[in-house]
Structure 1
Amino acid sequence: MDDVSLLVADEVHMLGDEERGPILEMTLTRLRYRNPKAQLLALSATAPNADELAKWLNAELVTLDWRPVPLREGVYHDGEIIYSDKSRRKIPENEYNPVLSIMVETVADGGQVIFFANTRKKAEQYAEKAASVLSKYDILSDEERQQLSLFSDELLLSTETSAFTERVASLLRQGACFHHAGLGAVHRRQIETAFRKRFLKVLCATPTLAAGVNLPARVVIIPELRRYEVGQGMHTISVTEYKQFCGRAGRPNFDSYGEAITIARNSDEFELIMEKYVKGRPERIWSRLAGERHLRIQTLAVIASESIKDFEGLDKFFGATFLSYQFGSSFIRKSLQTIVEFLEKHGFIFHDDLLEATRLGRRVSELYIDPLTAIQIINICEKRPKIATDLGLLQVVCQAYEVPSVPMKRIETHKLERFLEENRDQFFDVPDPCEEPDDYDLFLDSLKTAIFLKAWIEETGEGELFERFGVEPGDLAVLRERASWIAYSASELMKVVGKRDLTTEFEVLSARVEHGVKEELLPLVALHGVGRVRARNLFNAGYRTIDDLKRASVEELSKVPSIGVKIASLIKSQV
């Protein structure tokens, strides 16, 4: 960071994001602390308090109204679209649903459409309906059908077979598909490429598309502006999120204009949408660093890695954050004092006259895990069972905050509890359901995830995993990454506290979770181009070690199912 001369912070309004905001804020703060002479360029299309951000960053504010493709925002109501400039356009009622009628008109005119749905289920339902309507009106050309078939076939050949993949491939072939976090990398690549090449006409997406993927279309349709969220119930989305949706309308070099159309079901809703969203401004960006978890992680990181020797220096450093700029240094000082006391109490830092990270504190900071997670893992591992099994180790990992609880089929509580009783001797620490009901519920939730990951590392195929658990490829990818990271972190923590046996067991588990294999395949999956399926085929063909591969010829290896000459040559180049 000391050598950086120019840092570009795109989408700087993400400072207001609950999870990513604190990381972005601390990155900018640390750059300015370490390298005050570096040039900083912060960009955003939705930052109403840009002047405040500019003052915090000591930057010059530059504002532009220019857009590569002009945008028209409108609201559909009672058979027509009313735009912000009060112009109107009648929509032919080709279908019972105005969303589909607008789609038909756009695609027939050579454009593409993005629907923004509030849930995965609705995105998939819209995609099914859109595909049906495209087929009904026979809108796709022969070339488009042919190209979509090629994308569909390549998808089926590029990933493990499952009902989920077959459904995606079928929709892709018909010219309309969904896009959400459940898609795996291969699914996303095929869908996004087909859309960018304009063969895929309709994309039905969840809000993640607006935030992270540059896939513009001529028309963006927003069917509803209300969403259900756990703990909040039904609520309207923010103006910022609405404007992010609108930002996807209009494809440079292909469209002379872009349209963002929201659906109103009655006159009251029409007035609300027009005044609050179409004519409204995005909400002010607020720092999210004040959250206890974020401040705990970042405080330890600063103590462990920056040249700060005392509390006054720490206070001064955090005084340069956006949080301090907005709320004042006294607001953050009290929180810092509490966190420093917590870190000292649990052995992460020394704090006499000086502040210094302990060996444990430095390693936890390097691993970038919550100190609370580290405490939890260390304490649980003090209660290890006589035999540490894969399932028991996985449960420890899955109980960490950093490992997400992914959407999966519901397992009835009484079945989980019966499973727990049958396997109780495998677990490190089972909370008492009467004395610790909340901890017990969290344990059961982590147990469900652990059962799934146990099937994954036992090499259960993705198709069977989807059938049994309902876990989609994208969720599996996130879960694998996080669980592997926490398992590795656990191995490093065990190294620090001197539990060598658990160090090895967690380290092996981390690699197995990453690749989804039994331990015997780890040497093979470490090779580039060799995944779990190819590794198992090699192993079953008698190539069980690196030495076995060294002795084999390219011709011999190429005869193994799923290997071929290209992969065989790649393997030989590595051994």
Structure 2
Amino acid sequence: MLEIKDLQTWLPREVIDLYLERGILELYPPQAEAVERGLLDGKNMLLAIPTAAGKTLLAELAMVKAALAGKRSLYIVPLRALASEKFEAFSRFRRLGITVGISTGDFDRRDERLGKNQIIVATSEKADSLMRNGASWIRELGVLVADEIHLLNSANRGPTLEMTLTKLVRLNPEMQVIGLSATVANAREMADWLQAELVSSDWRPITLREGVILRRKMSFVDQEVPLRNSGDEVLSLVKDTLDEGAQILIFENSRRNAEATAIKLGQALGQGSMDLAEKILASGESETARRLADCVSRGTAFHHAGLLPEHRRVVEDGFRSNQIKVIASTPTLAAGLNLPARRVLIKSYKRYESGRGMTPIPVMEYRQMAGRAGRPGLDPYGESLLMARSQPELQELMGHYIFGQPEEIWSKLASEIALRTHLLSTVASGFASSIQELKDFIATTFYAHQQDPWRLDVTLERVLAFLEESGMITSLEDDLRPTRLGSLVSKLYIDPLGARIMVDRMRALSRPPDLSLIHMITMTPNMEQLYVNQSDAWLEEFIDQHIHELNPEENYDFLLRQVKTASLLLDWINEVREEEISARYRIGPGDVRRVAETGEWLMHSAAEISKHLELGVTFQAQRLSQRIHYGAGPDLLALLELKGVGRVRARKLFQAGYTSLDRLRAARPEEIAAILGPRIGEKVASQLREPEESIDRWGRMNGDQA
């Protein structure tokens, strides 16, 4: 057994005291093994251990030790929400004089000021963009932590994570690398790639009982336990859990099912927090918000990516404070957020996959969900349950998920879509200046560690040919050089195919209407287009009415999806209420914001490309980018520079005759307060008393804190 006070060999007393104050007296066995294997001596380490077994604490110890020695650490996470959670957790080290920063925002900024911090939290995409934009401090790292490193297996996020890790190791050869992973079948292979010690364990701080529900009985490996309460199996299980004073997480396979379950359980339970419900309604009214607030007032909640970030935070904080007893969620909640419960119910182990129909989830994903069961120090045990409809299905679930081994992790770098952007950035950032250097670089990736890198040769040649045809690189014999356009596209962090679409369309357009530019950005691969179904018959009429404003598109199904997405952005900048947009396009408020955020970034990128190539639409694209940022008409942009003034308040001021900052300056504070209310009115009045140049708050995707 290794006690916290035994770490004084490596860490000063004030660090030990910080952990003792948190009630951490000794290390868990996997933590002790990591320290004994050299974690605090600077050795690379892959920690493949279950959720709640203390991976983050080990990363903290290494980063704190590095910070006190004057070294900088970068902590990479897959999600913005997880970045915020870790930033808040690491901020406790400020009392040790350690500065902490977070960066999840703009993809075309260097963020040199971030380098003043000793611990920096960022998504893998942001870390990648920092290298593309030449942040100098990224070459001076002492520790790199890759949280959820098993996401190398993800088709979406895996290639960026893999290339980011490969490049960071190339820039910082002496840096300590720590990978935090779920339990995977080929952890040794991952550790070898990282040149790391492997600590792999199934140990958990509290017992996890895994079982399957069938015919109102919970079947565990060693016993059967009948459900006590009446009602259907889910309601009965929830009531049993609440009777024990505990909480439950229910994983559903779709947003609709998550909402339906939370609503149904709320109607049956009926005890919750009106304060939290009011908080939800205060931070954004929509039909989704009203449904969520109603659930929360009854002690339940739903959680999915269609919620606004502020609503997700209310749900998460409410669950942590035990004001919310039940959360029905899509699997996104299992992806790293620290939100454990006594019981976890995986209501459906199948989910819809395009082209494949309903498909069983991987064992690794099951483990991630099941791992949320049991709160160390609070619960005597954790229980994870699947649901079966027959005895054969119960046996199958037991064998596959409870006794089965998690899958192997495989690199997804061979995708042409991934290689398009990452090969350009590798050349543009100076990691390779010839085809041979590019192949040598690829030889250091996880892909090359798993299989022969020559398998990529054909795809590599095809991608390089595309980049050269698109004017983004030049090749002379073996040499590769980025063009100014290629360097710009890499820094803007957009898919080169999207950049080519923008260049081709902007060259073809002469004094384009706004819809032409908005449709253009929805044609790019970076824009996640909305789905179209039978209730979208209005789209055909919209296309007929605007046919001369739309860009040519041979595939009519693609055109429908593009135009639906463009129509949403048009509604957004024309100040249609968020609630109406959500209802018309049948998406959540969080989805509306996400489409707008992506649209703003792509329109900004179009403006930068137009400026570089002198394509004549720079000002129009810049103005549209601002309008998408605020969701407002061009007449409100000046007023929207005021802090605390969004598009609704700005329109109220405008309609009251305050059409400019100068007119607003001439107003008496009580006149402003009569329109905006006393609190916001005073905030605005105090800004107007400041020097004129200090009022400038426009910035894209503001997600950085020094």
The verdict on a shared fold, with TM-score over 0.5 as the criterion, is yes
Instruction: Give me the whole-angstrom Cα distance separating, in 1, the residues matched to 2:387 and 2:432.
Output: 54
1:220 is aligned to: 344
Residue 242 of structure 1, CA deviation: 0.7
1:330 is aligned to: 454
1:64 is aligned to: 201
Q: SS of the residue aligned with 2:209?
A: strand
CA contact (8 A) 2:241 2:248 kept: yes
- 1:369 has 2:494 as partner: yes
Q: SS of the residue aligned with 1:227?
A: strand
CA contact (8 A) 1:80 1:91 kept: yes
Instruction: Give me the whole-angstrom Cα distance separating, in 2, the residues matched to 1:411 and 1:402.
Output: 26
Residue 370 of structure 1, CA deviation: 1.1
Once the two structures are superposed, the pairs formed by residues 35-184 of structure 1 within 5 Å of their partners are 35-84=172-221, 86-95=222-231, 97-135=232-270, 140=271, 145=272, 148-159=273-284, 161-184=285-308
Instruction: Give me the whole-angstrom Cα distance separating, in 1, the residues matched to 2:452 and 2:535.
Output: 48
1:537 is aligned to: 652
Quick check: 466-475 or 562-571, which moved more? 562-571
Change (3 A) 1:496 1:190: same
Change (3 A) 1:536 1:212: farther
Once the two structures are superposed, the pairs formed by residues 465-504 of structure 1 within 5 Å of their partners are 465-500=581-616, 502-504=617-619
Q: RMSD of the alignment, in Å?
A: 1.9
Q: SS of the residue aligned with 2:310?
A: helix
CA contact (8 A) 2:640 2:650 kept: yes
Q: SS of the residue aligned with 1:293?
A: helix
Stretches of structure 2 lacking an aligned partner (at least 5 in a row): 1-137, 696-706
Deviations 1:527-563 (A, max 9, x none): 3322112222222233333333444454443332256
Instruction: Give me the whole-angstrom Cα distance separating, in 2, the residues matched to 1:398 and 1:453.
Output: 9
Opposite residue 50 of structure 1, the aligned amino acid is A
2:622 is aligned to: 507
Opposite residue 156 of structure 1, the aligned amino acid is L
**Of 632, 652, 667, the match for 1:517:** 632
Instruction: Give me the whole-angstrom Cα distance separating, in 1, the residues matched to 2:269 and 2:532.
Output: 31
Instruction: Give me the whole-angstrom Cα distance separating, in 2, the residues matched to 1:563 and 1:359.
Output: 51
CA contact (8 A) 2:250 2:347 kept: yes
1:461 is aligned to: 577
Opposite residue 105 of structure 1, the aligned amino acid is D
Q: SS of the residue aligned with 1:468?
A: helix
Residue 172 of structure 1, CA deviation: 0.9
2:684 is aligned to: 568
Quick check: 111-120 or 326-335, which moved more? 326-335
2:68 is aligned to: none
Once the two structures are superposed, the pairs formed by residues 101-500 of structure 1 within 5 Å of their partners are 101-135=236-270, 140=271, 145=272, 148-159=273-284, 161-353=285-477, 354-384=479-509, 387-406=511-530, 410-413=534-537, 415-427=538-550, 429-431=551-553, 436=554, 439-500=555-616
2:92 is aligned to: none
TM-score normalised by structure 1 residue count: 0.92
Residue 175 of structure 1, CA deviation: 0.8
CA contact (8 A) 2:532 2:564 kept: no
CA contact (8 A) 1:407 1:471 kept: no
Instruction: Give me the whole-angstrom Cα distance separating, in 2, the residues matched to 1:522 and 1:335.
Output: 46
Q: SS of the residue aligned with 2:249?
A: strand
Residue 369 of structure 1, CA deviation: 1.1
Instruction: Give me the whole-angstrom Cα distance separating, in 1, the residues matched to 2:596 and 2:164.
Output: 26
Q: SS of the residue aligned with 1:43?
A: strand
Residue 520 of structure 1, CA deviation: 1.4
Deviations 1:49-68 (A, max 9, x none): 11101100111112233323
Residue 219 of structure 1, CA deviation: 0.4
Residue 31 of structure 1, CA deviation: 0.9
CA contact (8 A) 2:303 2:312 kept: yes
Q: SS of the residue aligned with 2:380?
A: coil
Deviations 1:379-401 (A, max 9, x none): 122332x5522222211111112
Deviations 1:119-155 (A, max 9, x none): 11111111111112213xxxx4xxxx4xx10111122
Stretches of structure 1 lacking an aligned partner (at least 5 in a row): none
Instruction: Give me the whole-angstrom Cα distance separating, in 2, the residues matched to 1:183 and 1:307.
Output: 40
Instruction: Give me the whole-angstrom Cα distance separating, in 1, the residues matched to 2:575 and 2:183.
Output: 45
TM-score normalised by structure 2 residue count: 0.75
Change (3 A) 1:57 1:74: same
Instruction: Give me the whole-angstrom Cα distance separating, in 2, the residues matched to 1:46 and 1:566.
Output: 54
1:24 is aligned to: 161
Residue 467 of structure 1, CA deviation: 3.1
Percent identity, aligned pairs only, is 38
Residue 525 of structure 1, CA deviation: 2.1
CA contact (8 A) 2:214 2:394 kept: yes
Instruction: Give me the whole-angstrom Cα distance separating, in 2, the residues matched to 1:562 and 1:396.
Output: 40
CA contact (8 A) 1:409 1:471 kept: no
Opposite residue 323 of structure 1, the aligned amino acid is Y
Opposite residue 466 of structure 1, the aligned amino acid is S
Q: Give the total of aligned pairs.
A: 552
Instruction: Give me the whole-angstrom Cα distance separating, in 2, the residues matched to 1:226 and 1:65.
Output: 25
Instruction: Give me the whole-angstrom Cα distance separating, in 2, the residues matched to 1:162 and 1:25.
Output: 39
Residue 93 of structure 1, CA deviation: 4.8
CA contact (8 A) 1:406 1:475 kept: no
Instruction: Give me the whole-angstrom Cα distance separating, in 1, the residues matched to 2:240 and 2:686.
Output: 49
Deviations 1:264-294 (A, max 9, x none): 1101110110000011121100001110010
CA contact (8 A) 2:575 2:647 kept: yes
1:547 is aligned to: 662
Change (3 A) 1:520 1:328: same
Opposite residue 144 of structure 2, the aligned amino acid is L
CA contact (8 A) 1:106 1:112 kept: yes
Instruction: Give me the whole-angstrom Cα distance separating, in 2, the residues matched to 1:570 and 1:401.
Output: 44
Opposite residue 580 of structure 2, the aligned amino acid is E
CA contact (8 A) 1:529 1:570 kept: no
